[in-house]
């Protein structure tokens, strides 16, 4: 009898523990339907903690190395700055993966990728993108969220960003739309077979 009571006690504790962890998980993923400034503030927090500026913002050189250029936040690889020479052949297996000095362009087996302009400029940024297209892009890894769109290239961690909640992605979109637009037409990706011509 004592053993049976012990078994029931353990099962009851496990049940409480499972309910507690389920409730915790529900609290984390629950949509709170933030709006306006609160949504923008959350988006700013996600951009900062997600290190989006590391790749998507041009840099200025300081005594301590490259620093984010606050006048062109999240405007992508500066179209007026040419890439330094590429040494070796990064498109071959085992080749090096390189990044530009300001960390806005990358070369590797996928070719050359350039950080996109995420400001709300309607001609060169995401100003003409709907919220739905923005979210679908980050969920599918396809440019403009189109089924036949080009793949979003490394090192953009879209697979991880795709795990965010809808509210998180809405917050990112709202924050990016609140930035000053920066006119900067980022270079299209370079396919692997054309990389060595840029040497």
pLDDT in tens, 37-58: 898 999 888 888 988 989 899 8
Which residues, 6+ apart, have CB-to-CB distance to 128 below 8 Å?
A: 122
pLDDT of res. 59: 87
**Where does residue 145 fall: left (phi above 0), alpha (psi -120 to 50 degrees), or beta otherwise?**
left
Question: Does 21 or 112 have the greater pLDDT score?
Answer: 112
Coil, strand or helix at 149: coil
How far is 73 from 184, CA to CA, in rounded Å? 11
Q: What is the pLDDT of residue 32?
A: 62
DSSP string over 24-38: HHHHHH------HHH
pLDDT of residue 79: 87
Of the candidates 182, 175, 166, the one whose C-alpha atom is nearest the C-alpha of residue 132 is: 166
Identify the three-state secondary structure at position 99: strand
| CA torsion through residues 87, 91, 95, 99, sign | positive
pLDDT of residue 94: 66
Q: Mean pLDDT over all residues of the chain?
A: 82
Q: Write down the pLDDT at residue 93.
A: 67
Q: Rounded to 5 degrees, what are φ and ψ at 158?
A: -65, -30
Q: Is residue 177 over pLDDT 90? A: yes
Q: Which residues, including other chains, have CB under 8 Å from residue 96's CB and lie 6 or more apart? A: 88, 90, 108
Model confidence at 26: pLDDT above 80 = no
pLDDT of residue 173: 96
Domain ranges, ordered by start, for the chain: 35-198
Query: Is residue 61 scored above 90 in pLDDT?
Result: no
Dihedrals phi, psi of 59, to nearest 5 degrees: -120, 160
> How does residue 199 score in pLDDT terms, banded at 50, 70 and 90?
low
Q: What does the pLDDT read at residue 62?
A: 83
What's the pLDDT at 169? Answer: 96
Convert the pLDDT of each residue in 73-103 to its tens digit.
889 888 888 877 777 777 776 677 888 888 9
Instruction: Say what the pTM is.
Output: 0.75
């Amino acid at each position: 009898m004592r053993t049976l009571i012990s078994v029931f006690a353990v099962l009851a504790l496990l049940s409480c523990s499972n309910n507690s962890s389920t409730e915790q998980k529900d609290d984390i993923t629950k949509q709170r339907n933030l709006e306006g400034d609160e949504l923008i503030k959350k988006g700013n927090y996600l951009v900062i903690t997600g290190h989006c500026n590391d790749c998507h913002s041009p840099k200025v050189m300081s005594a301590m190395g490259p620093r984010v250029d606050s006048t062109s936040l999240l405007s992508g690889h500066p179209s007026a700055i040419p890439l330094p020479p590429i040494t070796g052949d990064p498109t071959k297996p085992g080749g090096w993966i390189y990044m530009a000095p300001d960390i806005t362009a990358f070369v590797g087996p996928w070719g050359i990728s350039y950080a996109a302009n995420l400001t709300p400029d309607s001609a060169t940024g995401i100003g003409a993108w709907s919220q739905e297209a923005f979210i679908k892009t980050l969920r599918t890894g396809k440019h403009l969220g189109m089924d036949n769109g080009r793949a979003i290239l490394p090192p953009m961690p879209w697979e991880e960003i795709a795990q965010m909640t809808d509210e998180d992605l809405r917050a990112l979109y709202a924050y990016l739309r609140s930035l000053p637009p920066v006119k900067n037409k980022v270079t299209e990706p370079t396919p692997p077979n054309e990389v060595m011509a840029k040497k």
